[in-house]
Amino acid sequence: MFDTKDQDLLNSDNDLQLVKGCIDGDLVSQKKLYERFAKKMMGVCLRYADNYEDAQDILQDGLIKVFKNIDSFKGSGSLEGWIRRIVVNTALATYRTSNPLRLSKGSEELEYIPASDDDILGSISVKDLLNIIRKLPSGYRIVFNLYAIEGYSHKEIAEQLDITESTSKSQYSRARSLLQKIIQSEEVS
């Protein structure tokens, strides 16, 4: 029986073979890569997009970038993480091009509101939380996804979205507060 380290090595070896096949133009390898990651990456796209059709467009654009740049994957990290990074960056690029004014750039109009102590977000299923996150306004949703789910720092988010760090913090705090209100209202209903 394999332990976790053995399984990670197997996945890593399989990933490297899959990548090599894609670089060589092997259609079977390309199809395997697509089938292995498309569904997971669609979940990522749905968190950033305003609707299903936009998520499909982001997924398609992101996977095209993956296949065009597959030779730049060096195997130093996980293949899934590398693909996720490309898909998230594609979603952000799409957002920046189509909605350049949705996020406020001025820190003077936004104030960072620390998260409350109630952990209402911890008492909800992941599936329900993701559906509720999709109800957030785009700016809140993107910052919330980047910070709470993808693990970016507020400094990294600010750089990615061309906003101030305090704006990122404020957007996250407001997203969290709005999520709590939505969850509370749905629990009452």
- Angstrom CA distances, 53 to 26, 50, 58, stand at 29, 8, 9
Residue 37, both tokens: 């990651």
* pLDDT computed for residue 125 by the predictor: 74
Residue 73 near residue 82, CB atoms below 8 Å = yes
pLDDT higher than 60, residue 112: no
pLDDT digits (tens, 9 = 90+) for 40-95: 999 999 999 888 999 999 999 999 999 999 999 988 889 999 999 999 999 999 88
Residue that is written with structure tokens 């997924």 in the block: 59
Domains and CATH numbers, the chain: 4-98 (1.10.1740.10), 107-188 (1.10.10.10)
Query: pLDDT at position 1, please?
Result: 37
- 60 Cβ neighbours under 8 A, 6+ residues apart: none
Q: Taking all residues of the chain, what is their mean pLDDT, rounded to a whole number? A: 81
- Cβ atoms of 154 and 172 closer than 8 Å: yes
Tell me how far apart the alpha carbons of residues 154 and 174 are, in angstroms, rounded to a whole number.
14
Q: What is the pTM of this model?
A: 0.72
